[in-house]
A and B are shown apart, each in its own frame.
Chain A
Amino acid sequence: MSSELIHRLHFAFTITFHYLFPQLTMGLGLLIVVLKSVALKTGSERWDRAARFWGRIFAINFVFGVVTGIPMEFEFGTNWARFSRLSGGVIGQPLAMEGVFSFFLESAFLGLFLYGEKRISKVMHWFSAVMVFVGSWISGFFIIVTDAWMQHPVAFDRLPNGQFEVLSFWQLLLNPWALLQYAHNMTGAVVTGSFVMSAVGAFYLLERRREEYGRIFLKVGVIAGVIASIAIIFPTGDLHGKYVARNQPAAMAGMEGLFKTETGAGMVLIGQPNEETGEIDNPIVVNDLLSFLIYGTTKAEVKGLDQFPQDQRPTALPLLFYAYHIMAGLGTWFVLLMVVSAFLLWRGLLYKSRWALWALLLSFPLPYIANTAGWMTAELGRQPWLIYGLMRTSEGYSNTVSASNGLFTLLGFMGLYALLGLLFTVLIYREIDHGPEAKAAVELISAD
């Protein structure tokens, strides 16, 4: 059992679990602003209650995001000390900026949004919702900047002792990789938020309870869902993919399972990469499509894995291939489902189409899977590099922390997170069960 593997699993496990929460926080943050805006404009108490209801879900989700997020910053130092020592001067900056620019803002206004409604005006309460949304999206930006620098290092220099240092604040923040990844990732968060909101709406309508709220949730969820589901493929996914193909060709070859360089490369829709034979088993291929998608012409040459020495190819090839294909496959389903739902909504049929409501209800876990698979694609594609082209993953972990100590704390996190997952499910279920008319849980503190 190698220390490197344990430290990788440690980070991978804790960040995968963590990101289940912020993706909903960021998506819902936007949708709550929509609900609050309608409430403010129309003076509708129902839309206000809808906003408060999602505010309660947001709050639970936020706390789980916070407590599982703190370990992430720590783990850069605890589990990836050699990486931190060399790169802290660069990536420590966006991580610190996240705290300074986002968390202070977000926590201050969330406190006001949840606890202060009676102490502030309606406009101020709406403004708090906007600030919570802005804070969560700024937070996402700095994390993307951190990851983007590892994927595509820019604006840096190396000191004589080997440490990286940042040369330009704006170049670091405006790293093209970061902007493309941010657009793609935040759209993904909106997909999660809109699917969750639609699913709760569908649940209420199928249950024939609180149908007036179910319709609000479906309206907002499906409209946001159709926009986000299309935008996640085009333009954000398309642009990001083209950029990956040009700057990390080995990652793209791994994602697509392209073992051999081809002119007019086809796209594998389904299949199993066989590392021994260097071929895709049982493939379904669309001819020339990959060349066209990347370079805009069916004749273009796409580099295969054969162009790269073994020690520069992605290390977990089948996992990378599957993660990418799961993401892309689910993305296709999202467009299909949401376009149909939006059409039904427009024709006034959605609230009565029980089959569509069932499909929306059952689809809510899928964006979580797609977002997770997307991140796995990004991080596995970067391998064997920790900082692309500059530092290998094998050079970055804390070699003073033994594999067995790492395993001990990894198992500890697994146990604790199993408990958290259970508690989260119970809490969210109760909120949905009590519904928007129920008294706010947080109000129980000051009233009751």
Chain B
Amino acid sequence: MGFIWFWLVAVMIVGYVVLDGFDLGVGVLHLFLVRDEEERKATLASIGPVWDGNEVWLLAGGGTLYFAFPLLYASAFSGFYLPLMIVLWLLILRGISLELRNHIEVGVWRALLDGVFGLSSGLLTIFFGAALANVLRGVPLQADGYFFLPLWTNWQPGVHPGILDWYTVIGGLVALVALTMHGALWLTIKTSNELGRRARGIVTPLWIILAVLTVVSLVATVAVRPQSLNNYFNYPFTFVVPAGVIASLGGVWFLNRKEQPVKAFLCSCLYLFFMLAGACWGLYPTLLPATTGAENDITLSRALSGPHTLAVGLAWWIFGMALAVGYVVFVYGKFRGKVDLAPEQH
């Protein structure tokens, strides 16, 4: 049961990153990719009908984590108190600025709101990447299962690290670049003409930075927490996951060159999937490692809810998520194709 729930939660996190990832990336990109108001409208229209649904994955995933692993939820959310509050404020600013800019015609205000939208999108990707890196590195858990992290200490991932240190900053940068590229690929699919070409063009430099950062982050992860490799050596066939990272990243380059944007975007989804799955497998069966000694680790068996809770949960979860995936497929199908910028006929 623990194994199942571990991977169900992981799937929801992957779902969130893959889906909200591209609209966060579009948020970052629109700051420097678009040239005029028409292009900006096309850019924002490409995520308009879906960004809110994409964010639901965060809530549904959070809720699932909450009931399947209450100890982890309680410990991590109170321990990461300050950065999570900042994430909440950023999510609020981002949602409001996107909504508001559709209602305001004054250029200066629009520029301000676009700036807030882009900046909050970028900071969110960095925070999410850094959050994952915090989990991989470990936190100073006490015996009672709680901790409280300051925003930074000496920037070293030691026994008493901060939210930000050199390692978690790398994690933040990987997320920023990976999701920006993800967003560029989305725009390549959804927009046409000059804008679409520029979006496709920017994938190349982003790809090069991402390839370097990916290698750096993998090496850094092994350096910071060598145990991350244990599962891989115990089950050597699982090296297929890092191989998948490389293959999917290669696929993005190749397919973007061949002007096959949909396939390139799917490769980018796979890249995000393999990166996250690889990280989860590196942790398993630990959920949150302790820098204060392995005896304080929050492990799967320690955090898992009672058997009745999980049995009840599994029944509705499967049914509900099947429905949810149905809606997602349906809506994306309805909004398939390029963004329609033709003036209305009346």
Contact = CB atoms under 8 A, between A and B. Distances in A.
Nearest to A10: B85
A95 B320 CA distance: 13
B284 interface: no
Interface string A403-447: 001000100100010001001000100110000000001111111
Nearest to B145: A85
B149 to A, nearest CB: 10
Contact of A73 (B63, B92, B306, B323): B63
A412 B59 CA distance: 22
Given A81-B75, A84-B77, A108 B70 contact: no
Contact of B334 (A64, A119, A447): A119
Interface residues of B, number: 74
Nearest to B321: A100
Interface in B64-99: 64, 66-71, 73-79, 81-82, 84-85, 88-89, 91-93, 95-96, 99
B147 interface: yes
A91 B73 CA distance: 13
Interface string B47-71: 0111011011011111110111111
Nearest to A98: B63
B145 to A, nearest CB: 8
A78 B344 contact: no
Contacts of A412: 85, 89
A76 B66 contact: yes
Given A168-B312, A401-B81, A111 B331 contact: yes
A107 B305 contact: no
A430 to B, nearest CB: 7
B52 A107 contact: yes
A284 to B, nearest CB: 45
Contacts of B331: 108, 111-112
A445 B48 contact: yes
Q: Nearest 10 CB-CB pairs, A to B?
A: A77-B77, A88-B70, A92-B67, A96-B63, A99-B60, A165-B306, A92-B66, A111-B49, A107-B53, A81-B78
22 contacts: A71-B88, A74-B62, A78-B77, A79-B78, A85-B71, A88-B67, A89-B306, A92-B73, A93-B309, A96-B317, A98-B63, A100-B320, A103-B56, A103-B59, A105-B324, A111-B49, A115-B48, A115-B335, A166-B308, A398-B78, A400-B148, A430-B103
Given A88-B71, A420-B92, A445-B102, 18 more contacts: A63-B96, A66-B52, A70-B92, A73-B66, A77-B66, A77-B76, A89-B67, A89-B309, A96-B67, A101-B324, A111-B53, A112-B49, A120-B334, A157-B308, A166-B308, A400-B146, A412-B85, A447-B343
